Chains A and B, each alone.
Chain A
Amino acid sequence: MSYTFLVTDDSSTTRAIIKRTITLSGVSVGQILEASDGLQALNKLRADKVDLLFLDLNMPNMNGLELITEMRVDSRMARIPICVVSSEATDSRREQLSELGVQGYIKKPFTPEQIRGVIQSVLTIAVAA
C-alpha cells in the first residue's frame, strides 16, 4: 500500500524539508501534494484522497486552525490524520489542538526523526483501524 501526503506550509523551504523527509522515511509513498495555505489545502483535500496531512498554523488566506475546523465538519475529511508542524508551542495552543483531535504536534525547528516518528505512528494506527 502506498500513501498520499499533503504538506501545507507557506514556507517553501519547510515544505521541501518535510517532502524530503517523507521520501526518505521508508514508507511507500504514492504522492506528496503541496499547498501554501489552508485554502489551497482544502481544495486538494476535496480533490484527492490524503492519508496524512502535515499542517502549519500561521498561514495567509486560511490558517491551520480554520482548515482543521472545516475538515472536522466535513464527513469526507473528518477522519484524515493531521500532524501540526508549527513554531507555536504554547500550552494553550497544544490544548486547543488536542481538543480538535489533532494526532501529531511537532514544534519548529524539527528534526527529520520527529517527522519520521509521526509518519510511522499515525500510519500504523490508521492501518490497524
Chain B
Amino acid sequence: MSESNIKQLLLETTIASLETMAFFCCEPATDDALSPEDAISAEMTFNGPQSGTVQIVASRFFGQRLASNALCCGVTDPDALERAEDSIRELVNVVVGALMSRIATQKSDVFALTLPSGRPFDSNAEWDDFAKDQNVCLIDAEGETVGLRFKTV
C-alpha cells in the first residue's frame, strides 16, 4: 500500500476513533490551521507485512478534553488533567490498531508493536516543519488542531 493511501486511511481511522472514543466531531483541517499550544507528540511503530510509525501531535488541552469526554468529567477535573498525555498516547494506540486491521491483507498477517510513547512537542520550533511534511494531515476536532503523520520505517 502506498504512503498516500496509508495517509488517507490514517485520517479516516483517526476521525472514526475520536468519534467512538470521545464523541468528537472531526473534519480534515486546512494546512494553515493554528498550531496546537502546549503540545504533546505521541507515536507508535508497527512492524509486519507493512511497517511504519504513526505520530499524533495535539495540545495538552485536547488531551484533557479527550479524557474528560471519555470519563464523563469536567475538562479541568483532576482526572482529566492528570490523563492528558495518557489519553493522547492511548489515541495513537487505538489508531494504530485500526490502521493495522485496514492494512492487513492476509488472515495470517502478524504485526509487532512498540509501546506508545509521548513527549512534549515544541509548537514554535517543530510545528512549521511538521505541518509542511507531505506525510502529515491535519484534523479539526471541534476547534482543536490535531496533526497526524505516517512514516514508513
Is there contact, CB below 8 Å, between A111 and B20?
yes
The reply to whether the CB of A31 lies closer than 8 angstroms to some CB of chain B is: no
Is there contact, CB below 8 Å, between A16 and B100?
no
The reply to whether the CB of B101 lies closer than 8 angstroms to some CB of chain A is: yes
Given A87-B98, A89-B101, A91-B107, also A11-B93 (CB < 8 A):
yes
Complex Cα gap A12–B80 (Å): 11
Q: Is the interface of A mostly helix, strand, loop or mixed?
A: loop
Distance between B77 CB and nearest chain A CB, rounded to angstroms: 11
Out of A20, A59, A89, name the residue touching B71 (CB < 8 Å): A20
Among A88, A89, A109, max chain B CB count under 10 A is at A109
The reply to whether the CB of A101 lies closer than 8 angstroms to some CB of chain B is: no
Is there contact, CB below 8 Å, between A109 and B100?
no
Q: What residues on B are CB-neighbors of A87 within 8 Å?
A: 93-94, 96-98
The reply to whether the CB of B104 lies closer than 8 angstroms to some CB of chain A is: yes
Is there contact, CB below 8 Å, between B90 and A14?
yes
Given A90-B104, A107-B97, A109-B20, also A16-B110 (CB < 8 A):
no
Complex Cα gap A65–B94 (Å): 18
Interface size class of A (residues with CB under 8 A): 20 to 34
Complex Cα gap A58–B20 (Å): 21
- Identity of the chain B residue whose Cβ is nearest the Cβ of A56 in the assembled complex: B93
Distance between B143 CB and nearest chain A CB, rounded to angstroms: 21
The reply to whether the CB of A108 lies closer than 8 angstroms to some CB of chain B is: yes
Q: What residues on A are CB-neighbors of B87 within 8 Å?
A: 13
- Identity of the chain A residue whose Cβ is nearest the Cβ of B98 in the assembled complex: A87
Given A13-B83, A90-B109, A90-B111, also A58-B93 (CB < 8 A):
yes
The reply to whether the CB of B115 lies closer than 8 angstroms to some CB of chain A is: yes
For A1-27 the 0/1 string (1 means CB < 8 A from B) is 000000000111110110010000000
Is there contact, CB below 8 Å, between A92 and B107?
yes
Out of A13, A14, A17, A92, name the residue touching B108 (CB < 8 Å): A92
Distance between B42 CB and nearest chain A CB, rounded to angstroms: 11
Q: What residues on A are CB-neighbors of B83 within 8 Å?
A: 12-13, 16
Given A16-B83, A58-B113, also A90-B100 (CB < 8 A):
yes
Other 17 A-B pairs with CB < 8 A, given A11-B89, A17-B71, A92-B107: A10-B115, A11-B90, A12-B83, A12-B86, A13-B71, A13-B87, A13-B90, A17-B70, A20-B71, A58-B113, A87-B94, A88-B97, A91-B107, A92-B108, A107-B97, A108-B93, A109-B17
Closest 6 CB pairs of A and B: A87-B97, A109-B20, A109-B21, A11-B90, A91-B107, A13-B83
